[in-house]
Amino acid sequence: MYKYIAKRLLMMIPVLLGITVLVFLMLHLTPGDPARSMLGDTASPEEIAELREELGLNDNLVVQYGRYMKNLIFHGSLGTSYVSGREVMSEILNRFPTTILLALCGIVVTVLIGVPTGIIAAVKQNSWMDKAATFIGLFGVSMPAFWLGLLLAQFFSLKLGWLPATGFYGPKYWILPAITVGLNTSAMVMRMTRSTMLEIIRQDYIRTARAKGVKEKTVVIHHALSNCLIPLITVIGLQIGSQLGGAMVTETIFSIPGLGKYLVDSISSRDYPVIQGGVLFTAIVFSVVNLLVDILYAYADPRIKTQYAKAGGRKRNRPLERKEA
Amino acid sequence: MKKESEILLQIRDLSVEYQTEDGIVKAVNGIDLNVGKGETVGLVGETGAGKTTVALSILRLIPDPPGRIVRGEILWKGKDLLKESIPEMQKIRGDHISMIFQDPMTALNPVHTIGEQIAESVILHQNLHKKEAEEAAKKTLELVGIPKERYFDYPHQFSGGMKQRVVIAIALACNPELLIADEPTTALDVTIQAQILEMMNQLKRDLGMSVIMITHDLGIVAEMCDRVAVVYAGQIVEWGTTRQVFKNTYHPYTLGLFGSLPDMKAADEQDFDERRLKPISGMMPDPTKLPDWCHFAERCPYRTDECEKDPIPLRDFGDGHLVRCRRCPVPGKEE
């Protein structure tokens, strides 16, 4: 198992390297000039050329990439922001907890709404509860976050005055953004739970459990739900990833000082180091979440654990060190 | 032969239907069955005859929808199980009446240890603590020939035969009075089949339980059963002691079943044509459109116009040997 995890962590390195190359290339191939957007329209060509030289933008792309990677690997630095002049790494680390907190709150909303309604819809298939859950699910999926967020803020903050509409300073502030982030995905989780549950509940081993005299509630929770976990973990894991991306919208609506908003701002000002750093950071988080999902699989299903043990075992013959170099 | 003993389970006029897109499937049509204490009753018939539906009805495990018990009584020690509440049924399931399922590959929950799955019914029915239940479950494991060290293993770590042993252990965990074995060896290869049957015979003797053995294998019936019911299209067509049914076979369907078995003794003496297996021609009638008269008439080599008039009752051919057929006993077959 540990070998498997180590192997997966090592496999992240080429992935992340690939991402740096891609982001770097894409940024430098898109039209637009950071020097011009920093100095504004009134700047003279000489001034722009001078700034470009200063930022190292006139160098060969390979040289620029090499410099970036050297700084990243040997100094742990993602460069400094063109706009604020601050270290990108510390700026990201400052904002990241907020974004993760928002994503986790969203996941809590997703799970709390999605899983129970999905189970009820499956167990009471074709009843009014099933139909209601399906309807609400459809409604939730088709409601875009930017619109839902605005509606929620309008109703709960402006009209009722119950909850704050902007900022992110305490649990009270988390509620509306969390619902905005979570409601959309909870509909998906609900559909997933329902369809998986419907399949599982017809399995022979559920009949075995019933034949033992197990109470229906225990059958559903203990015997059926534990077999639904794999697809559920998959969907929820993917949702965490997409919520990191989706955070840009939510953070902008509710003026939350998170990574998403920071990235949106930096894209409009062509702040290359920030964009690169932000994307790289998101990619790392995404990979780690994926790894966590895969590790959780092993705990949800003993058959997968056996596979991992085998996968880790095979690794033994291969020199681990070489990959790190 | 076993004498009439105390009746444990009595099924009267049981009828079960399934609602499908193609219409109402009449899976079981008025089945009567008695199971005495310590007795093994065989239910024989081809796939789709309604054997499993009878078994699931006893435990009230017919998936509803689409299944529905339309008529009948299932008397367990005099109490009608069909009128019991669900909590009452949950007390009976696994404790008094247990069931072994056909396919051991899918009958075990893949994410729980086998020990946990056996101990669960002990905890439920005998009010034991986890530790005591574990001990009890380990004993049951050893009873079915699995070392108790494997208590913490998962189903995927067992072979098919071993899984079936686990399934049997789950069923036996609370020493049930009646065990329903639904084709317990169909999914297993022949050597494992023999082992499992031998083990079941042994356990039956040791624990003194009654067994309903559902199978399509007449060899298993001969080996295990005291009495046998031959089921065809949801009806019992022949019922008697195993000796009666095997020696004085009356019903054309039962005759057909025996005819489709290879006979090793005859093989040396008879010429090739007679040695050939004789399958029953035709197919089972469409269960959504069962005729009012004899269900077997369409395939019966002895059919007369009389057969396609009225429903045929079970008639006693002596000593409780019941046959659902209008025609007289085959000449020469009668002793």
pLDDT along chain B (335 residues), means of 10: 67 89 85 88 87 89 84 87 87 89 88 91 87 88 86 89 88 87 82 82 84 88 90 88 86 83 65 70 79 80 78 80 73 43
Judging contacts by C-beta atoms under 8 Å, the chain A residues touching residue B63 are 202
Tokens 């008397």 belong to which residue?
B75
In angstroms, the separation between the Cα of residue B84 and the nearest Cα of chain A is 14
- The candidate with the shortest Cα–Cα distance to A299, out of A236, A229, A238, A219, is A229
8 Å CB contact of A213 and B99: no
The SS3 call for residue A30 is coil
* A288 vs A80: CA distance, rounded Å: 25
H runs (alpha helix) in chain A: 2-29, 34-39, 45-55, 61-75, 88-123, 128-141, 145-152, 171-200, 204-211, 216-218, 226-253, 259-268, 272-300, 302-315, 320-324
Q: What are phi and psi of A291, to 5 degrees?
A: -65, -45
pTM above 0.95, yes or no: no
ipTM for this prediction? 0.83
- For chain B, what is the total number of helices (H) and then of strands (E)? 12, 12
pLDDT at A51: 80
What residues of B are in contact with residue A296 (Cβ under 8 Å)? none
Chain-wide mean pLDDT for chain A?
82
Calculate the CA dihedral of residues A169, A171, A173, A174 and round it to 10 degrees. Answer: 110
Q: Which of B42, B41, B28, B50 is nearest to B218 (CA)?
A: B42
Q: Which of A160, A173, A142, A134 is nearest to A253 (CA)?
A: A173
CB contact under 8 A, B108 and A226: no
B276: tokens are: 């050939």
For residue B55, the chain A residue with the least C-alpha distance is A211
Residue B230, H or E segment = strand B227-232
pLDDT of the residue at A254: 83
What region, left, alpha or beta, does residue A59 occupy, with left being phi > 0 and alpha being psi -120 to 50 degrees?
Answer: beta
Q: A229 to chain B: nearest residue by CA?
A: B111
Q: Do A205 and B109 touch (CB under 8 A)?
A: yes
Q: Nearest by CB to B95, which of A213, A226, A229?
A: A213
Cis peptide before B66 (omega within 30 of 0): yes
Contact B93 A213 (CB under 8 A): yes
Phi and psi at residue B179, to the nearest 5°: -115, 125
pLDDT band at A323 (very low <50, low <70, confident <90, very high): very low
Task: Give residue-wise pLDDT tens across range A174-226.
Answer: 888 888 888 888 888 898 899 999 999 888 899 999 998 888 888 998 889 98
Q: Provide mean pLDDT across the span A49-58.
A: 79
Mutation test of the interface with chain B: which of A198, A203, A205, choosing the one with the most B Cβ atoms within 10 A? A205
Q: Do B59 and A214 touch (CB under 8 A)?
A: no
Nearest neighbour of B107 by CB, restricted to A208, A215, A300: A208
Three-state SS for B69?
strand
Length of chain A: 325
Residues 6+ apart with CB under 8 A from B278: B256, B259, B260
The pLDDT of residue A206:
92
What pLDDT was estimated at residue B267?
Answer: 56
∠A170-A175-A177 over CA atoms, to 5°? 100
CB A23 within 8 A of CB A276: yes
Q: How many CB atoms lie within 10 A of CB A205?
A: 22
CB contact under 8 A, A227 and B110: yes
A211/B61 CB distance under 8 A:
yes
Contact A216 B86 (CB under 8 A): yes
**Residues with Cβ within 8 Å of residue A183, at least 6 apart in sequence:** A109, A113, A140, A143, A148
And the tokens for B93? 């399931």
| Residue-level pLDDT at B330 | 46
For position A133, what pLDDT does the model report? 87
AA identity, residue B313: P
Position A316 confidence tier, pLDDT thresholds 50, 70, 90: very low
Backbone angles phi, psi at A148, to 5 degrees: -60, -45
The separation between CA A53 and the C-alpha centre of its own chain, rounded to angstroms, equals 36
Lowest mean pLDDT among A10-24, A311-325, B106-120: A311-325
pLDDT digit string, tens, across residues A125-184 = 888 988 988 888 888 878 887 888 888 888 888 888 788 777 777 787 888 888 888 888
Rounded to the nearest 10°, the torsion over CA B113, B119, B124, B128 is: -140
CB of B226 within 8 A of CB of B171? Answer: no
Whether residue B187 contacts residue B103, with contact meaning beta carbons closer than 8 Å, is answered with: yes
Chain B residue with minimum CA distance to A222: B112
- How many CB atoms lie under 10 A from the CB of residue A184? 23
